[in-house]
Structure 1
Amino acid sequence: MRRTDAAPARRRASAIDGFRGLAALSTVAFHVWQQYFRYDAQGSHPPVDDPVLGAVFSLEVIDLFFVLSAYLLTLSYARAALDGGSTRPARLFLFRRAIRILPLYFLAVLVVWATRNPTLPGNWRDLVEHLTFTHVFDQQRIFYTLGPTWSLSLEVLFYLVLVALGPLAVRACRPLRRRRTRVAVCAAGCLFLYAAPLAWIAVAHYRFGVPHTDWVVYFGPQARFGGFAAGMGLAVLTAALGDRGRLGPRTALPLAALALAGLFALSLDSGPENFTFTFYHPIASLLWVLLIFSTLHVRQQTFWHGLLTARWLTAAGLVSYSLFIWHEPVMLQLHNAGLLPTGQSGFLPALLIVFLVAVPVAAASYWLIEYPASLLGRLKDHRGRPREFYPEPATR
């Protein structure tokens, strides 16, 4: 990379870390909110009386994880499909994804499952399903052991879909002479992948009356793949534009504000059984796409960039995966030990306590587990072949 390109690349990387930190911290707040709504407020009223604050705390950000992951992982395939070039071998892609998520995930599943199943055989089916990422298809056990990791099951399925469809898209676009046609083909594929879950949700809810508590129907890949498809579409859009059409501050900031306002309104209005509740996640995915695009595809930094790249937020982004994995066990352990205040007035103090415990746990997990495991990625070169290491030559 040329030196002139290094600074913008670092800024984009910092902004992406900021998004990860925002998503991880918001996920913690959302699950503490759920905990207090379900157990300490008895479901009769939310933990916070102010609807504005309630909309902020109850904002679901899982679609941000999906959109951001799909965008980053699809970008190389989109560039290869539109402009030629090679892509990483599927075995290398899957190897690096496995190194990224499996060591910490398997360890956390085994530790949490063992503490909750002190006598064998325990709930062995729950353990098997979590270790094979199939708990998202189990209506009863989808939220067992590590509740939030139902979404990780969808991540793993997305990886398998991407290594199948990515090379296929590259091969399909190769004979097409016009770049505009290649862009249209890739965009159409993303649009289909986004529309299919919309149709599934509409038919399930309006034709067959399936309740929203049927987790397998509404949390499975057939319903939630729209978030990944939106991220794939964003990758195609940015690859198609390249350095053209970058937004100035006068355009980027209003678009970012519009996306944030839309997400807030969606959270504020998504009452049970209404339209925005039913289609919350497909709509939220498009708003996250708008926010990410208006953040990354710009000519210069804006006030919003300054917020995203704050050190505390990018630090949270660095340990976001560990925070995502450990925050629920930490929260439940604190709750079971009686260390969280009860009642509606206890929500905000409890949120602070969970943050104060979960963030240091996540930091320790990153440096002791995630980072050492990531070094295994150096065992293979860019072609997916075992890397040869040579001893340093002796010096006199």
Structure 2
Amino acid sequence: MDARDDLPPLRGHQNPLDGIRALAAFGVLVLHVAGATGAAYQDSLFSWLLSRGDAGVAVFFTLSGLLLYRPWAVALVYGGPAPATRDYLWRRALRVLPAYWVAIVVGLLLFSPEHVRSVGTWVQWLLLVQIYNPDPWWTGTGPEGLYQMWTLPVEAAFYLALPLIALVVAAVAARGDDPARRAGRALWTLTALFAISLVFVFFTFYPEWRPDFGLYLPRYLIWFAPGMMLAVLVAWANAETGVYTPIRRLCRTVASSAGLCWAVAAIAYLVASTELTGSRSVGFDAFWPAMFRTVLYTVIALFVVAPFALGPGGEQGPLGRVVGGPVMRFLGRISYGVFLWHTIVIALASRWLDVPRPGGGFWPALVVVTALSVAVATACYYGIERPARRLGRRRRAVADREPQAGGDGDEGHDGGQREEGGHEVGDDLTGAAPQQGEGEHADAGEQESPGREGQQTAH
């Protein structure tokens, strides 16, 4: 085997990341079904476990950090030009906005018809700025059918901030005179994002409680940062020479320990499913529970994503073959649609089918909502998301045919790979990958066909 065969890829599709994105999206769906039926609020460990499905948001954001920052990390470590910001933002917009806009129009028309004549309502929701409204007409994080959408403005803010963050990190790292020193400086600089989030959590509660702070990007940088640091490690491992160098050994060790890593994530999830992290609601109502939940969700996201981010890209090991298998890849491909539409499905199903409903059965409701959400998400993917991404590729093809001095900065040292991104959630909430086309919340990732180089996106 070639010495580079077991290195994490600088470009290309990583099937297990699709499966991870699917797990995150359906974790959020399970949380909302459990909330709608009341199953999340019963006195049992199972109820506590259901109530922490929002850990999927942290996974989405970590995927976005990994896949969107990877081209910048490669340019930083190899000393090449940074990606073209304009093209990056254009692809992000095409990835996130078309399907999001359709879901917003449907949600507002169906469930908030009394507000559709308000120009302000449409402006703030269509432009992803609704979380900044100091006095919204809805309660909680959004109106019926749209209450999960708050993560997408956070993702959008990260998309806008990422080129600036990358510029600062690169400026600090540029003082290093070789790839290892530049990568090391970059990792140390990125730790500042952890500190920013924890300080922001503090000021959410002191000197007075500011619940709106819980919806802003600084609060969640700690979930994007692990993915960005993994991207630096990927570039660093590829830049090293020799087979048994420290970073390459680290990548191999983590990649071969996927089961152990997921066991650590499971333990962190169990600890998070206790009163240590506050009440069984999505919001944060006290400082220490908010701090513990934030840190534990960071641990969960890091240990879920790391073994496959640092692996050679295939479905290595039994766990990799499961999360990177055909079913999980398909569910990952449509995960952005699942995230966008499942709350609308819940609202419509409760009206038309009386499932889910408060006090009703959790499992029947989960089956119904999952089946309907997958159907709607599949239609959304093939009817809206793929055509929008193809539009972006056609624009890119036209631009590539035009002579440009020095190139556009989107290719080069990442082997021609282009940035993508998680919630999207996310691809994705969901967000995804620096592969050629896009990225959830999300957040938010898909592979167009076996005949093309795989492309992954974050929700």
Which residue of structure 1 aligns with residue 179 of structure 2? 179
Distance 1:218 1:53 in 2: 24
1:247 aligns with 2:252: yes
Residues 52 and 273 of structure 2 are in contact (CA less than 8 Å); yes or no, is this contact kept in structure 1? yes
Which residue of structure 1 aligns with residue 270 of structure 2? 264
Please report how far the alpha carbon of residue 250 of structure 1 lies from its aligned counterpart in structure 2 after TM superposition: 6.2
Aligned positions of 1:45-84 closer than 5 A: 46=40, 49-52=43-46, 54-56=48-50, 58-60=52-54, 61-84=56-79
Q: What is the TM-score with the length of structure 2 in the denominator?
A: 0.73
Partner amino acid, structure 2, of 1:67: T
Distance 2:69 2:27 in 1: 25
Residues 283 and 153 of structure 1: is their aligned pair in 2 closer, same or farther, counting only changes over 3 Å?
same
Larger mean Cα displacement after TM superposition, 333-342 or 267-276:
267-276
Higher Cα Rg: structure 1 or 2? 1
Residues 68 and 160 of structure 1: is their aligned pair in 2 closer, same or farther, counting only changes over 3 Å?
same
Q: What is the TM-score with the length of structure 1 in the denominator?
A: 0.84
**Cα offsets for 1:89-140 (capped at 9, x unmatched):** 1111011111111111112212222233446753443322111211112353
Of 344, 350, 355, the residue aligned with 2:359 is 344
Distance 1:107 1:373 in 2: 13
Higher relative helix content:
1
Aligned positions of 1:136-285 closer than 5 A: 136-138=131-133, 140=136, 141=138, 142-144=141-143, 146-174=146-174, 176-205=176-205, 207-210=206-209, 214-242=210-238, 244-245=248-249, 246-248=251-253, 251-269=257-275, 270-272=277-279, 273=286, 275-285=288-298
Please report how far the alpha carbon of residue 8 of structure 1 lies from its aligned counterpart in structure 2 after TM superposition: 7.9
Secondary structure class of the residue paired with 2:361: helix
Distance 1:6 1:110 in 2: 46
Residues 47 and 344 of structure 1 are in contact (CA less than 8 Å); yes or no, is this contact kept in structure 2? no
Which residue of structure 1 aligns with residue 388 of structure 2? 373
1:28 aligns with 2:29: yes
**Cα offsets for 1:204-230 (capped at 9, x unmatched):** 32x3251xxx54121211312221123
Secondary structure class of the residue paired with 2:176: coil
Residues 117 and 253 of structure 1: is their aligned pair in 2 closer, same or farther, counting only changes over 3 Å?
closer
Which residue of structure 1 aligns with residue 405 of structure 2? none
Distance 1:178 1:83 in 2: 8
Residues 224 and 159 of structure 1: is their aligned pair in 2 closer, same or farther, counting only changes over 3 Å?
same
Partner amino acid, structure 2, of 1:366: Y
Secondary structure class of the residue paired with 1:339: coil
Please report how far the alpha carbon of residue 63 of structure 1 lies from its aligned counterpart in structure 2 after TM superposition: 0.7
Distance 2:82 2:278 in 1: 44
Residues 11 and 19 of structure 1: is their aligned pair in 2 closer, same or farther, counting only changes over 3 Å?
farther
Residues 62 and 226 of structure 2 are in contact (CA less than 8 Å); yes or no, is this contact kept in structure 1? yes
Which residue of structure 2 aligns with residue 303 of structure 1? 318
**Cα offsets for 1:243-276 (capped at 9, x unmatched):** 7123347644222211222123212342334734
Distance 1:279 1:307 in 2: 31
Query: Percent of aligned positions with the same letter in both sequences?
Result: 25
> Unpaired segments of 5 or more residues in structure 1?
389-396
Which residue of structure 2 aligns with residue 98 of structure 1? 93
Please report how far the alpha carbon of residue 343 of structure 1 lies from its aligned counterpart in structure 2 after TM superposition: 4.2
Secondary structure class of the residue paired with 1:122: coil
Of 111, 119, 137, the residue aligned with 1:116 is 111
Residues 262 and 175 of structure 1: is their aligned pair in 2 closer, same or farther, counting only changes over 3 Å?
closer
Distance 2:198 2:6 in 1: 40
Which residue of structure 1 aligns with residue 449 of structure 2? none
Residues 379 and 172 of structure 1: is their aligned pair in 2 closer, same or farther, counting only changes over 3 Å?
farther
Partner amino acid, structure 1, of 2:36: Q
**Cα offsets for 1:167-220 (capped at 9, x unmatched):** 443355345314343223312321112211101212332x3251xxx5412121
Aligned length: 374
Distance 1:380 1:88 in 2: 17
Please report how far the alpha carbon of residue 380 of structure 1 lies from its aligned counterpart in structure 2 after TM superposition: 3.4
Residues 8 and 309 of structure 2 are in contact (CA less than 8 Å); yes or no, is this contact kept in structure 1? no
1:85 aligns with 2:86: no
